[in-house]
């Protein structure tokens, strides 16, 4: 079956529609309403999600979690439009991008471990109805090969736009208002390496030589290990965390393709690229970055300054500036403030120094804070961090410390959960495009789920492990699939949403 919605991006496929419809406005172009804002932040968001009324009554009136989630994602975030807008580069495909991506969207929601598992789901009547197919028990809707082909050619910019649209809609619904630390909207950046392998690899794999013991001879030998590494940007907050973007650390081959020096780049290079793109996309929506010690260097601080961003950066090396200077100034001095945190049951002592300008590669002034925590059982832990940027430097010590500690969200709510519960430690499909497509699509689902659980269902984040809350809800949604009475008319919804 060939459909118009989400079909191939081959020029012929869309020409017919474009002739009847007015030329669409580019998302970054000025909005035609004359507001002066970009279209993506103006009327694109105002497009009402009327399509939600096309959802069947048994979805709209149900209080089951899965039904509530689909209604929420459609009504508030325009899910059919998000998925319907995606394109892939196959020629004359039998199955539309939309139906394949829609099945992957649900595979991500249920955290299916592999493409083969999803292929298995595609044989089940319940799942077929869920993704809008005519139910036919035992006959798979389409094969794993079709899914692989789509992933190999899926347009990644489209996926990034989808993630962005969700953020702007959430912003418009005031999701992030009050959900920040000291009125600063903070983004944590960190490197992430979901998996590695000695045999399976692709042309964009990073490589390193690892010493391993040969199980037969007992001798230590060098083996090449293949892996992918990313820099992830997560908006961290007290209520919920959402992923803004992901940038791969490029290997020599990928850089050669871009006409650059053919050697593996480091995390920092990818991070600089990501900060540039975040600034392009989100501009003043972001106030500050929260970074680990790798980022405690002049070039990163300079970049943040140039963009008007603050920075909260962990400091570890006591013989490096600016920490070296701060430690010398604090030598023999009592803390300038002591607080007791009732919630965490710990006391914190602060040392604080402003105006350090000893870095050769950064012209601005740095504030450095040391926090020594004493837990109820007497264990002590020391944190040192730098603050750059005027607005960020005005933060109280308590708020600044909260911000620095919120960086654990990216490790825990993000990386830890994605590998353990979202199966992202496995490689679904090992080609350069598919790897990124899976990550971005899964992040889109992750964000929608975060919004659903903490905003729509208003589940508290504390004191329970945030992962537990979500696991329970996903399990409930998976059970709800069996209760689906009829096929959900996704194609109709997508058609209506795309105009």
**Contact residues for Zn ion, defined by CB under 5 A:** 31, 33, 35, 42-43, 202, 205
Question: What is the smallest separation between the CB atom of 10 and Zn ion, expressed in angstroms?
Answer: 28
Listed residue (391, 455, 447) closest to 185, CA to CA: 391
DSSP one-letter string for 155-191: -HHHHHHHHHHHHHHHHHTTTTTT-SBTTB-EEEEEE
Question: What is the smallest separation between the CB atom of 195 and Zn ion, expressed in angstroms?
Answer: 10
Which of 43/372 has CB closer to Zn ion? 43
Which of 26/355 has CB closer to Zn ion? 26
Which of 37/173 has CB closer to Zn ion? 37
Which residues have CB under 8 Å from 91's CB, separation 6+? 8, 10
Which of 3/207 has CB closer to Zn ion? 207
DSSP one-letter string for 208-228: EEEEEE-TTT--EEEEEEEE-
Question: What is the smallest separation between the CB atom of 173 and Zn ion, expressed in angstroms?
Answer: 17
Joined together, the tokens standing for residue 441 give 């699509």
Which of 43/117 has CB closer to Zn ion? 43
| Burial group, residue 264, by CB count within 10 angstroms (0-12, 13-18, 19+) | middle
Question: What is the smallest separation between the CB atom of 229 and Zn ion, expressed in angstroms?
Answer: 11
Q: How far apart are CA 366 and CA 329, in angstroms?
A: 14
Q: Where are the alpha helices (DSSP H) in 342-465?
A: 390-393, 397-405, 408-409, 417-420, 432-451
Listed residue (237, 278, 291) closest to 451, CA to CA: 237
Report DSSP state, residue 320.
S
Q: How far apart are CA 170 and CA 41, in angstroms?
A: 11
Q: How far apart are CA 156 and CA 175, in angstroms?
A: 26
Joined together, the tokens standing for residue 19 give 């002739």
Which of 165/287 has CB closer to Zn ion? 165
φ, ψ (nearest 5 deg) of residue 268 = -65, -40
Question: What is the smallest separation between the CB atom of 481 and Zn ion, expressed in angstroms?
Answer: 32
Question: What is the smallest separation between the CB atom of 46 and Zn ion, expressed in angstroms?
Answer: 7
Max CA pair span of the chain = 77
Which of 42/440 has CB closer to Zn ion? 42
Listed residue (450, 448, 369) closest to 165, CA to CA: 448
Question: What is the smallest separation between the CB atom of 199 and Zn ion, expressed in angstroms?
Answer: 11
Question: What is the smallest separation between the CB atom of 498 and Zn ion, expressed in angstroms?
Answer: 19
Which of 156/202 has CB closer to Zn ion? 202
| Residue pair 403/394 in contact by the 8 Å Cβ criterion | no
Which of 283/475 has CB closer to Zn ion? 283
Question: What is the smallest separation between the CB atom of 340 and Zn ion, expressed in angstroms?
Answer: 50
């Amino acid at each position: 079956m060939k459909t118009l919605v989400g079909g191939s991006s081959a020029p012929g496929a869309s020409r017919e529609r474009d002739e009847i419809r007015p030329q669409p406005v580019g998302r970054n172009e000025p909005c035609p309403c004359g507001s002066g804002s970009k279209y993506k932040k103006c009327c694109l968001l105002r497009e009402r999600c009327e399509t939600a009324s096309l959802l069947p009554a048994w979805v709209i009136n149900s209080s089951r979690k899965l039904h509530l989630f689909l209604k929420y994602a459609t009504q508030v975030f325009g899910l059919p439009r998000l998925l319907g807008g995606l394109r892939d580069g196959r020629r004359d495909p039998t199955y539309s991008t939309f139906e394949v991506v829609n099945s992957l969207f649900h595979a991500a929601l249920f955290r299916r471990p592999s493409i083969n598992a999803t292929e298995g789901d595609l044989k089940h009547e319940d799942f077929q109805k869920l993704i809008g197919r005519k139910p036919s028990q035992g006959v798979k809707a389409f094969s794993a090969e079709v899914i692989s082909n789509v992933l190999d050619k899926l347009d990644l910019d489209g996926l990034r736009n989808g993630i962005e649209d969700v953020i702007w809609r959430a912003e418009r619904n005031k999701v992030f208002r009050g959900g920040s630390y000291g009125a600063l909207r903070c983004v944590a950046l960190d490197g992430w390496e979901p998996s590695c392998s000695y045999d399976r690899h692709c042309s964009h794999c990073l490589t390193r030589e690892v010493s391993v013991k040969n199980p037969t001879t007992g001798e230590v030998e060098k083996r090449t290990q293949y892996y992918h590494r990313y820099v992830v940007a997560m908006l961290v907050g007290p209520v919920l965390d959402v992923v803004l973007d992901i940038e791969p650390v490029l290997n020599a081959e990928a850089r050669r393709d871009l006409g650059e020096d053919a050697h593996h780049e480091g995390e920092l290079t990818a991070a600089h690229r990501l900060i540039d793109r975040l600034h392009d996309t989100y501009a003043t929506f972001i106030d500050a970055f929260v970074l680990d010690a790798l980022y405690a260097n002049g070039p990163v601080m300079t970049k943040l300054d140039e963009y008007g961003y603050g920075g909260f950066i962990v400091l570890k090396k006591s013989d490096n500036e600016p920490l070296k200077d701060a430690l010398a100034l604090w030598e023999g001095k009592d803390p300038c403030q002591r607080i007791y945190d009732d919630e965490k049951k710990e006391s914190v002592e602060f040392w604080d120094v402003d105006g350090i300008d000893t870095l050769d590669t950064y012209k601005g002034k740095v504030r450095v804070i040391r926090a020594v925590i004493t837990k109820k059982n007497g264990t002590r832990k020391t944190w040192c961090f730098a603050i750059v940027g005027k607005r960020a430097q005005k933060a109280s010590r308590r708020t600044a410390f909260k911000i620095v500690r919120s960086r654990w969200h990216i490790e825990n709510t993000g990386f830890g959960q994605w590998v353990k519960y979202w199966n992202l430690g496995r490689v679904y499909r090992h080609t350069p495009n598919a790897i990124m497509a899976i990550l971005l699509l899964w992040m889109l689902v992750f964000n929608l789920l975060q919004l659903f659980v903490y905003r729509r269902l208003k589940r508290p984040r504390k004191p329970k492990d945030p992962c537990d809350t979500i696991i329970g809800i996903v399990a409930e949604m998976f059970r709800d699939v069996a209760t689906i009475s009829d096929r959900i008319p996704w194609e109709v919804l997508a058609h209506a949403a795309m105009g």
